[in-house]
Amino acid sequence: MKKNKISKNWINRQRRDVYVRKSKIEGYRSRAVYKLEEINQKFKIFHNGVSVLDLGAAPGSWTQYISKNYKNIKLASIDLKKFEEVKNTYQITGDFTKDIYKQKILNFFQGNIDIIISDMAVNTTGNKNLDSIQTSELCLDAMRFSKEVLKKNGIFVSKIFIGSTFNEIIDESKKIFKKNKVFKPSASRKESKESFIVCSMLR
């Protein structure tokens, strides 16, 4: 009964959500696209001709947004889940932390990358603290990978959760990047501890 009630509440929330409705009208696969749109409007991340890696890309709305709005983009996306193809992009199904998939990424770009974005999060367990810690580990993995493959003036954007590991992420970002900002888009639900860290200029 409890599970059915939660499912019903989720459905009702989706129906009321202006971003869910907007994504359906504009042809995007999820409301998450408007988080990236806000981040881009504030920090001016994307422009024509850049190379972009989208980590944790499924169902693909961030990849859609970049592909739709910018020209001559070299764009690769990777996720554990296979998702519907987005035209003019390279999609990988796998775990980016594994060497075999890192090599696929490197083979595609054939050089350093301009921008790495990550909306990765673990499947929720119901334990918010545990979920936050595990998602933070994904952010740190992505950040360290960025250190290896980004261009010197590259940009890294990642979902983070405000929690026990928040300071660790901030400290690590300051070791790797010269510029670091934390931003919560209005498209992120108010009750969510989700924010995004935007880093640039490798040290």
pLDDT tens for each residue of 44-88: 999 999 999 999 999 999 999 999 999 999 999 999 999 999 999
- DSSP-based three-state secondary structure for 133: helix
User: Structure tokens of 166?
Assistant: 């928040």
Active site residue 35: no
Q: Specify the pTM.
A: 0.89
Highest mean pLDDT among 9-13, 80-84, 191-195: 80-84
Determine the Cα–Cα distance for residues 116 and 203; give it in Å rounded to an integer: 16
CATH number of the domain bearing residue 177: 3.40.50.150
Determine the Cα–Cα distance for residues 153 and 113; give it in Å rounded to an integer: 10
Q: Domain count of the chain?
A: 1
**How confident is the model over 133-137, as a mean pLDDT?**
84
Note the pLDDT of residue 100. 97
List the Cα angle 78/22/117 in 5-degree steps: 25
**From the candidates 159, 175, 184, 190, which is the catalytic residue?**
159
Strands of 13-112, DSSP E? 51-55, 74-79, 90-93
Domain of 22 in residue numbering reads as: 2-202
Determine the Cα–Cα distance for residues 60 and 197; give it in Å rounded to an integer: 20
Q: Tens digits of per-residue pLDDT, 145-175?
A: 999 999 999 999 999 988 888 999 999 999 9
- DSSP-based three-state secondary structure for 172: helix
Determine the Cα–Cα distance for residues 23 and 158; give it in Å rounded to an integer: 21
Question: For 55-59, 95-99, 169-173, 186-190, which range has the lowest pLDDT when averaged over its residues?
Answer: 186-190
Kind of pairing between the strands at 74-79 and 51-55: parallel
What's the count of helices (H) and strands (E) in the chain, helices before strands?
Answer: 7, 7
